[in-house]
Amino acid sequence: MLKEIFEQPESLNNTLRGRIKGRRIILSLNFNFKQINKITLVACGTSWHSALIGKHYIEKIAKIPCEVDYASEFRYRSHILSEKDLIIAISQSGETADTLAAIKEAKLKNVRTMGIVNVVGSSIAREVDSGIYLHAGPEIGVASTKAFTSQVIALLLFALYLKNKKGEELDSDLLEEIKEMPMKIKEILNNI
């Protein structure tokens, strides 16, 4: 686990690579985000905790209502979902059974789906309509570290991307701070 904690600067660099260009966020997502009225983040475990942070980013930055749901409970609730909703599955492995089941439930209701996963070609990555790969590297420790911080940064990028899609300018100082974050984390870790 300690090894993976010290790998966070590299994993964050990998998540950020090529995604900030000038004052724009570059993500390969195939939705018309102007038609989204609500976002629901579904996840389990550590990914659920990153979703709680992501909710704040999406609501504060993108000004879109956002809910967080335990993936294990999602399919057992009576959801009021519409075609203007987006369900985002967050999973380090991309194989979390409950999160995958939540995506399948959303698709049965004709709701758009997106994934934020670490493993290319995973079940969730194949099942969703679109997604963001973390490129954080394998997570061996039981408690997720680098995947968690990469999920948090991916959710921040996603919120900024939505703001961009609404035609709003992004704060260049904030974007510079985001780009410098891996280096700052490395400095902190080197002083431990």
Nearest by Cα to 150 from 172, 175, 132: 132
What per-residue confidence (pLDDT) applies to 78?
A: 80
**In DSSP terms, which residues pair with 42 in a beta bridge?**
69, 89
Supply 12's token pair: 């964050």
Q: What was the pLDDT predicted at 14?
A: 96
In this structure, are residues 147 and 46 in contact, taking their beta carbons and an 8 Å threshold? yes
**Cα–Cα nearest to 147, from 51, 57, 22, 20:** 51
User: What type of residue is 176?
Assistant: E
Assess contact for 62 and 41: CB atoms under 8 A: no
> What pLDDT score was predicted for residue 57?
98
Structure tokens at 126: 């194949």
CA atoms of 176 and 24, how far apart (whole Å)? 12
pLDDT along the chain (192 residues), means of 10: 92 96 92 89 96 98 96 86 93 94 92 95 95 91 88 98 92 95 96 90
Closest CA to 92 of 153, 45, 147: 147
Phi, psi dihedrals of residue 87, rounded to the nearest 5° = -105, 125
Contact (CB, 8 A) for 132 and 116: yes
Provide the token pair at 39.
């976002």
- Report pLDDT for 143: 77
- 162 vs 64: CA distance, rounded Å: 9
